[in-house]
Amino acid sequence: MPRATVKRTVGTSSRSKREDILAAAADHFGRQGYEDTKWADIAADVGVGSTALYHYFESKLHCLFEIMLDTLSSFRTVFDDVTHSHERFEDGFVALLHANFELNEAEVARCRVLVAEQGRLSQPRATEREEEARQRARSRVRELETAWSNYLSRGMATGAIPEADPQLLTRAVLGFYNSVWHWYRPRGSLSLSDVDEFFVPRMLMIVGLAPAPAPRAVS
């Protein structure tokens, strides 16, 4: 995703404390898992006391929902940028699939957190700020799915891909894509470009676009 988003490097002074906390939390959640991460670990990384974190987030869960929101927003930005910059559906769709694999390590961690903890988005929360963040994140998931679904419908309308239930096709393609983040680890035996090479042609098959020598997303 985020060639289009501002890079977040731990320790950059131009970044706000809130962003530092989100980055440290995403890193911990991604490596240790959300459950096993303690507020204190995040606080130590950012160099503040545990109670100071509560100035920014009501709870660890509130922080998780804000990370999900940011991640979903980055995906949406990439979606809009890529689809608007290609006239033909075929070109835009291929570029979109590649763009979603253009991620740095911090972004991969966020994707992993998003897919690992997405179940929490369906459980209503008791406190106002948690519930408000949860609902915003949930709406953002729906908006992103609707954007994909409309885009696929456009591909069907122009005859680029065969007719199918656009909502189900969206779930299939995004489900296949998201499955990567359940097992992929940076600095393992596979690079993200290996994964891209394996998955993109298969994603194209799923929607019914024959795999062609694909133009790479702008890097």
* Footprint on this chain of its own copies (rule: CB under 8 A): 32-33, 35-36, 116-120, 122-123, 164-165, 168, 171-172, 175-176, 178-180, 182-183, 190, 198-199, 202, 205-206
The distance of closest approach from Cβ of residue 145 to its own copies in the complex, given in angstroms and rounded to an integer, is 10
d(CA 167, CA 173): 10
Nearer to its own copies, 20 or 90 (CB): 90
Virtual CA dihedral for 28, 104, 181, 27, nearest 10 degrees? 0
Nearer to its own copies, 1 or 61 (CB): 61
The distance of closest approach from Cβ of residue 126 to its own copies in the complex, given in angstroms and rounded to an integer, is 11
Q: Residue 173: CA atoms inside 13 Å, Cβ hemisphere, count?
A: 27
Q: What is the CA radius of gyration of the chain?
A: 18
Nearer to its own copies, 13 or 123 (CB): 123
Nearer to its own copies, 10 or 205 (CB): 205
CA-based nearest residue to 26, from 135, 102, 116, 106: 106
The crossing angle, in degrees rounded to 10, of helices 89-99 and 192-207 is 140
The distance of closest approach from Cβ of residue 188 to its own copies in the complex, given in angstroms and rounded to an integer, is 12
